[in-house]
């Protein structure tokens, strides 16, 4: 573990306000993106986002740097909190609105066909269960490795690879019917 990260964790355990602000500044945006993509609604995402950091700060003493980086550990908490929220609030479908899309870096302004394909893909993703949407988001949008996703989900890397393969095939079939 980096010495800066170890120092941050020590300060968090001592409940330093400055360390809490550093944690939010460093990891807040990626945690929010993860939660927002899973939960969908901005207001709900903000509520879950707060729950993630409250839970993380309460359990920082259980963090083990040998298992995952601090960012991955926070992603695991965010993933589970967001899925729990979706299961309670909306057990079947997850929706993504314009604010939750991450397509700007993948499209050229003038490429209408490519934009239409991305929109079709996003509509297809809306039809996936929350767990499948979360796996795709972590792998493609957040750039997490199979090992990191496995840690977040509480699984193993080969299982995640198999799940991603099945989800991609499912998404392909869905987009062909749209």
Q: When comparing pLDDT for 68 and 91, which is higher?
A: 68
Q: Structural domain boundaries of the chain?
A: 3-97+108-177
Q: When comparing pLDDT for 158 and 92, which is higher?
A: 158
Annotate 47-60 with b (16+ C-beta within 10 A) or e (fewer).
ebbebbbeebbeeb
pLDDT-wise least confident of 11-20, 35-44, 81-90, 93-102: 93-102
What is residue 57's predicted lDDT score, i.e. its pLDDT? 94
What is residue 144's predicted lDDT score, i.e. its pLDDT? 87
What is residue 115's predicted lDDT score, i.e. its pLDDT? 54
Q: When comparing pLDDT for 126 and 49, which is higher?
A: 49
pLDDT over 50 (residue 98): no
Q: Give residue-wise pLDDT tens across range 102-115.
A: 333 333 344 455 55
Q: When comparing pLDDT for 28 and 118, which is higher?
A: 28
For 3-97+108-177, CATH gives 1.10.1740.10
């Amino acid at each position: 573990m980096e010495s800066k990260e170890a120092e941050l964790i020590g300060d968090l355990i001592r409940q330093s306000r400055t360390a809490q602000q550093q944690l939010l500044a460093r990891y807040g945006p990626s945690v929010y993106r993860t939660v927002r993509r899973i939960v969908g609604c901005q207001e709900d995402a903000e509520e879950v986002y707060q729950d993630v950091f409250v839970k993380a700060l309460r359990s920082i003493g259980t963090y083990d740097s040998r298992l995952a980086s601090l960012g991955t550990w926070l992603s695991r908490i965010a993933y589970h909190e967001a899925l729990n929220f979706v299961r309670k609030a909306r057990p079947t479908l997850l929706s993504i609105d314009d604010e939750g899309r991450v397509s700007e870096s993948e499209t050229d302004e003038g490429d209408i066909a490519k934009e239409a394909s991305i929109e079709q893909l996003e509509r297809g993703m809306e039809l996936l269960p929350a767990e499948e949407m979360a796996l795709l988001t972590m792998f493609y949008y957040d750039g997490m490795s199979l090992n990191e996703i496995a840690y977040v989900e509480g699984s193993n890397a080969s299982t995640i690879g198999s799940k991603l393969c099945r989800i991609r095939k499912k998404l392909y079939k869905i987009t062909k019917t749209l």
